Structure 1
């Protein structure tokens, strides 16, 4: 396997409200900053992740390409997924050996529409979507099933939210949300058993990562975050044929990616109970630091939040606070799709 590393990571200061700027204006500062950090003006490959439904127009991602410049032509691709899956495509492209660098970015403005209605468009259009069920209602069903099976209480979920928000208040890019105990407006259920603080906040934001291979990675970054394993798996579309109390897709992805000896894990848990399910699936014990950035419960820019988890995990390698980290991304209802990326400060390739 060709050694490939994350050499740079940039994200916006995320917002819970529409700031009156278009997606292109949101992405441009991120692209400019990551070019400045790496000293690169062109990349061997560019791949983005976004959602046309969020923007309300087909092929809406094309406008974001204006941030890269219209000329000269570039090698470019796009996934209608979180930017983490764009990173996977770029990693595969680098494995072929024809390029040495790749730019990956993801972006989304959730504030300009009804996110729950929008995300229901990913459901089975014949049997599930017509029922009008939204992602929070499905997550609540999963939470109830998991709590009854594992003996988890609402206080356990609240503890996850409280820890995530506390970490987020120390992150200049997150939303700086109040402690659940101090948020009177969130004491009522959103959809039982989930309270408002158990649900990731509506967030606008963008992020970008630069990948580089071999000697190029060492040239661009003093301490590259080498991708020692990456894998993604999916479970059936129908919730009725899945065991919602566990994440088999995350377990297999973690196993294939070599998720052992992890010191810090950034998990894309959009609901508090999902963190508990993911910890079990990935075998993350009490000694592993979970979501020191605050995770998606502190800032959840749709189509960028998973990429940010990988970027945050890589940042711990870059600054020397950890030697082996894990970035996780999820997509689909109730953790249907899971991507696991294991990063190391040592290149064993």
Structure 2
């Protein structure tokens, strides 16, 4: 399929914090203002907006309606919302630009996980007949998958601790990281389990935050910046919601999304992966076919900051930053949604087109 050339031309993130007093609309106002300024445009220049957020996290129905205030009510523009991470909002905005009648779109992701207990909230999103009554939350499902990988010999607890230490060490250079520092792997392995076989370092922090990305078509992107970050491949794929219907030792949907996005057309130098738990890195790098020469999560990744509903879109921003600010030529961003990597998105970006 031939696609219209679309590039990322601006972005912005809030500081990632354990708790914020700002509403989601206030967080979004900050990043939408920052992203449009970064792109050299105003809100009036945006033709389409798409937001990613979650009513369960916000604690109210139709929570996205109040967030439209951050985009601006005038002049009127086409608007949409996905009950998904902002990476899927970016995908919808990218698809909308493929129609060719508009030139500029903005995608956002926002979440305030600090307002409730995730172990109480997230089971409500599960299948209401078989999974929700169990009260199993995201961490429980992650622990189940980690145990399967450990028993299969596909990862070790030391490898998982090494992932945590490396990620949070890398995050020391990231001004948006929530958790960073030097960690000793042996000391990490002495900690008690939070949910066997996961220790505290295997889990992401609870984070409040938001981000926004401005994209533009072809000539408009070149007009707005001398350094557009071109989206050269974009796809997502899903598997059954029930973890019991999948082989949790692999991520088939990640492999399918990567193939559809054309990841194997050329090597990538950097991969920003939504590895919310440490065991997921080995699984995802295998599914994506990434070798040791690829830098994984130089920003620190979700183990350094995990603003639910913005974590995946943050991966896109961090990968784009590698192109624009660090001269990388081809990079990868990955986002995931659902229990045990149920749905996965792959975005390939390049500096020249």
TM-score of Structure 1 vs Structure 2, range by shorter chain: over 0.9
Map 1:26-45 → 2, pairs under 5 A: 26-41=27-42, 42=44, 43-45=46-48
Q: Offset at 1:187?
A: 1.5
Residue 204 (1) aligns with residue 205 (2): no
Deviation at 1:244, TM superposition (A): 0.4
Partners of 1:186 and 1:93 lie apart in 2 by 50
1: CA distance, partners of 2:93 / 2:261: 17
Q: Which runs of 5+ in 2 are unaligned?
A: none
Tell whether the 8 Å contact from 1:108 to 1:204 is kept in structure 2 after alignment.
yes
Q: What's the RMSD between the two structures over aligned residues? A: 1.5
Per-residue CA deviation, residues 3-22 of structure 1 (Å, 9 max, x unaligned), is 00111121011001x22221
Q: Which runs of 4+ in 1 moved over 4 A?
A: 182-186
Residues 186/83 of structure 1: CA separation in 2 closer, same or farther (3 Å cut): farther
Aligned to 1:214: 218
| 2:199 paired residue number | 195
Aligned residue in 2 for 1:326: 332
C-alpha contact (below 8 Å) 1:122/1:332 kept by paired residues: no
User: Which residue is 2:152 aligned to?
Assistant: 149
Q: What is the 5 A alignment of 1:107-118? A: 107-118=110-121
- Which is worse superposed, 68-77 or 171-180? 171-180
Decide which of 313, 323, 326 is 1:317's aligned counterpart.
323
The answer (yes or no) to whether the contact 1:158–1:180 under 8 Å persists in 2 is no
**Superposed displacement of residue 180, structure 1:** 4.2
252 and 329 in structure 1: CA distance in 2 versus 1, 3 angstrom threshold: same
1:140 to 143, 168, 172: 143
Give, in whole Å, the separation in 2 of the partners of 1:255 and 1:150. Answer: 26
User: Structure 1: which 5+ runs fail to align?
Assistant: none
The alignment of Structure 1 onto Structure 2 pairs a total of residues equal to: 346
* Counterpart-to-counterpart distance in 1, 2:59 and 2:112: 11
**Range 267-276 or range 255-264, more displaced:** 255-264
Query: 1:285–1:215: structure 2 CA closer, same or farther, 3 Å change rule?
Result: same
Tell me which moved more, 136-145 or 27-36.
27-36
Alignment of 1:9-158 (within 5 A): 9-16=11-18, 18-41=19-42, 42=44, 43-158=46-161
Please name the residue that 1:297 is paired with: 303
Alignment of 1:123-272 (within 5 A): 123-181=126-184, 187-260=191-264, 261-272=267-278
Alignment-derived partner of residue 346 in structure 1: 352
Contact residue 49 and residue 79 of structure 2 kept, 8 A? yes
Alignment-derived partner of residue 7 in structure 2: 5
Distance 2:107 2:92 in 1: 9
In 1, the alpha carbon distance for the partners of 2:326 and 2:182 equals 29
- The alpha carbon displacement at 1:72 in A equals 2.3
- How high is the TM-score relative to the length of structure 1? 0.96
